[in-house]
Structure formats: C-alpha cells, structure tokens
Amino acid sequence: MRIIGGKWAGRELTSPGGRVRPTAEPVREECMRIAADALPGARVLDLYAGTGALGLEALSRGARKADFVEGNPEALHALKANIAKLRARDQARIFKKTTLAFIEGIEPPGYAVAFADPPYQSKQASALADRWLAAPFSDLLIVEHAATTVLPAGGRVHRLGDTALTVYRRRA
C-alpha cells in the first residue's frame, strides 16, 4: 500500500494485516477527488483510521492537520509508524477511542472533511451517518461501505465495484 498523490506520492505505508481492511487505491483516489476543493489548508478527520491512509493522503494533497481515530492496537502501531515514516508528527494527532465516542465530543466548527471507513459488517456506518445528519461535525463526510449497504438518506452515493462511498455535505 502506498500514498497515491501529492507530495508523498509513491511512499510505501505499513499495513498491520489481520482484520484491518485498508481502503483500496481506486477508492482512496475517488475520496480525494470528491474532497479536492476542500483539502488545501484543511483540518481533516480520519475515523476508523487503520493505517491512516486516508488522512495521510489528505495531508499529502495539502490538508494542514489531520486527526486520526483508531482503537485497534495493531492498527495503531501501523498508524504511528506511517506518521513517523512521513515525518508528519507535527500535522497529526492520534486518538485511541471508538469513533462514536470521539464524535460526541467534537465542538463546532469541527472539521472541513471527515473520512470514515468502518467495518463493513457492522452497523457503524449507519450510526455514524445518523449522528452526522443530526449534528454535522464536518462540512463534508465521506463514508466507505459495502455497495450493498444503504445509508440514511441525504448523501450522494458513488459506487466502485463492491464498495460504495456515501457523501454528505453540510448545507450553507
């Protein structure tokens, strides 16, 4: 797995293996295409961060700061290694928490962009979308999920094979 665009393009990332399912390159590329206008100078959030590929990709493409939320010890080890490898410690913060607990504490204005890649077989994608719809914690929320999963209304769905991205935008 590698960074696919921006200043760190081509740099390899450490993957923890096991039960972590890193976001595939075409899906990451689509996430970055969707968020492109919002990334320069942005504060971004990578929920269910795993290796941190989405947040690190955003930093590589001009985001100013990234917060990573991950609770899995193996994934945390890989995430810390990837941040160190890219010398991004001054741009990154790691929170060892569950995503749903973390987002309850977000104060406005929140984040410009939030990426979320919850476990496909869980109900967490729907719970996260419901929470965002009730109290948006970012201007843009991009949720990766199985293409067969339907998230709450209000988002635009982008299908990429067996994967889908549901994109929610805060109304101005």
Mean pLDDT confidence for 144-150: 95
Does 39 have pLDDT greater than 90? yes
Residue 17: which domain range? Answer: 6-169
What is the domain-level CATH number for residue 65? Answer: 3.40.50.150
Please state at what angle helix 53-60 crosses helix 73-85, rounded to 10 degrees: 20
154 belongs to a structural domain: yes
Per residue in 14-29, pLDDT (tens digit) is 987 666 667 889 999 9
Is 1 domain-assigned? no
Is residue 81 in a domain? Answer: yes
Q: Quick check: is 83 in a domain?
A: yes
Q: Is residue 122 part of a domain?
A: yes
Q: How many domains does the chain have?
A: 1
- CA angle 167–122–111, rounded 5-degree value: 35
Residue 141 within any structural domain of the chain: yes
What integer is the mean pLDDT of 32-48?
97
What is the tens place of the pLDDT at every residue in 91-146?
999 999 999 999 998 987 899 999 999 998 889 999 999 999 999 999 999 999 99
Predicted structure pTM score: 0.94
Q: Which residues contact 114 (CB under 8 A, 6 or more apart)?
A: 44, 45, 46, 47, 132, 137, 138, 140, 141, 142
* 72 lies in some domain: yes
